[in-house]
Amino acid sequence: MNRAFPWAFALVLTLGVFSVFALGCTEEDSAKANSPQDTVAAEPHEATCPPAWKAGWQKLADQIRAPVYCPSWLPDPLTGKIGGQWEGVHSVTPQRSYLIGFIWFERGAGEVHVNLRGYPGETGVPACNGEPCFSGLTGQKQVAGQKVNVYTVNRGADTWHVLYAWKDNGSLYSVSQHVVPELGVSYSRVVQNLDRIMAGLVKIEPQQS
């Protein structure tokens, strides 16, 4: 099942950054390639998937028969509600990989775009037209006890994003945010946001049928 919201395509086309919003791939582009800090101390709190969001993430986990990660926080004004007003793309492949994208854009004011992905049973970086979808590896870091690889050159829906990728029980997951300095979304702010998102992720296991 693939579902995308038409307004999200219009917003992205306005920015002139993406040619499509899907799991397909485009030419290589890069986010600002500065190295993040090696280690980030997460704020001491227990992350929870908000009840209003959990149903959608649970449904996704059940659909792909694999764990997914619900964000307990996303940059304002986004929420992590699947099917909510800020979900710009919802794609699940026959191989059970998924892309959930949330986006807000206002001309001349700002843009916030976050993608969450999962690749059940796969740990290698996926390919985009024969090239790695995630590249520009700047190193690894620990965030809330999770070791992540940080990529600043990415393709497809993650073009111009900083992307964190990690492995969990034989599966690859990632979260990324678009860097848009001219709209106030700097590289350093994106890294701060990704650190906070990572620290607040909640693993949702599929329910037994």
Could you tell me the residue ranges of all domains in the chain? 2-204
pLDDT for 7: 36
The pTM for the full model equals 0.82
What pLDDT, on a 0 to 100 scale, did the predictor assign at position 35? 39
**What's the pLDDT at 156?**
94
Paired with 116 in beta bridges are: 100, 175
Instruction: Give, in order, the Cα–Cα distances in Å from 61 to each of 21, 119, 147, 189.
Output: 22, 12, 22, 30
Q: Fill in the DSSP letter of residue 185.
A: B
Q: Is the confidence at residue 124, as pLDDT, over 60?
A: yes
Contacts of 180 (CB under 8 A, 6+ apart): 15, 111, 160
- Identify which has the larger pLDDT, 109 or 192: 192
Mean pLDDT, rounded, for 10-39: 39
Check whether 12 has a pLDDT greater than 70. no
The predicted model gives 25-44 an average pLDDT of: 41
Indicate if the pLDDT at residue 59 is higher than 70.
yes
The rounded distance, in Å, linking the Cα atoms of 24 and 37 is 31
Which range (40-54, 72-86, 126-140, 173-187) has the least confidence? Answer: 40-54
